[in-house]
Structure 1
Amino acid sequence: MGCKNICYRYKAERIFGVPRYESGHKRCSICEVFLEWDGRHCPCCGYMLRTKPKEGKSRQKMLVKSVKRI
């Protein structure tokens, strides 16, 4: 399955100063777009959405915040 352009209806607007994943946005790797969507799968292609950054500074920040909560 590929992108059917349905996901662009749910495209997330960037909030400057707040990381995307912390503001509740999810990313579809197939459609290559950030979504404001409550489900676990992309409404367009059906693939599972990413809810955490893969690598880099954003991932380190999220890991530190999750450890502080515990």
Structure 2
Amino acid sequence: MERFTVHRGTAVPLRHSSVDTDQIIPAVYLKRISRTGFADGLFAEWRRDPGFVLNRDEHEGASILVTGPDFGIG
């Protein structure tokens, strides 16, 4: 990864606490040889909800995810 000191981008507020790794990407999406193409698994269960924050048009192309406490536990 290339080092950076400043990032300019749009932020998305993910207003959930205690988000575990299976919510971020379920294990079924990790069972592949290639280590690319994980986008379809990112928050897969939550993306079924049309109102989920990452499904909203205003957040398309966002590059910063602002999370609550305990993001990535488990």
Give TM-score, length-normalised by structure 1: 0.29
State which structure, 1 or 2, has the greater radius of gyration over its C-alpha atoms: 2
- Quick one: higher RCO (CA 8 Å, sep 6+), 1 or 2? 2
Give TM-score, length-normalised by structure 2: 0.28
